[in-house]
Structure 1
């Protein structure tokens, strides 16, 4: 029996922080999350597709997973170019620094905790 998917009808009208945008792109492109993101007749998450202006999300254009994948790859490459400049927001950064010294986290653990 095929499971039904229920989409959230609430549209997201937000500007993504560059760091969050990079993390989403990393999940979709190099970690191959796009395999579950591209469905037979549309996107698994319309809000994320809209945030990246993928084909078939606006009034014009039709759903085209090939074009969408290429666009995501281009967005990912561009985001990676500036990844070294991206930092956590100030309050999070301060709290992570305190935890790093208190618990003895290494750089990778600190990044994972910041992501979470």
Structure 2
């Protein structure tokens, strides 16, 4: 029984490490994708601050799915009263997308 518990715990640690947030990679991809042209960490620019986005979505069960869709599908957004296409993330890799979304939610 003890051996099974240890193996389960080792597996859980390995799984959580595989999904650990890589802040440097997330910020680099956000910069490369142009996200920080319109969004700042804690103040409004053309788009809401990342801190504001995190506050709005933090405890919602569909946050990762909704934000992932938002940054990968170029939805229409209003900037200065005009509708424009939101820029898309410069990666389609699901792990990169999830990492950026989790980085935003951690603000």
Q: Same fold (TM over 0.5)?
A: no
TM-score (normalised: structure 2): 0.32
Structure with the higher fraction of residues in strand conformation: 2
TM-score (normalised: structure 1): 0.31
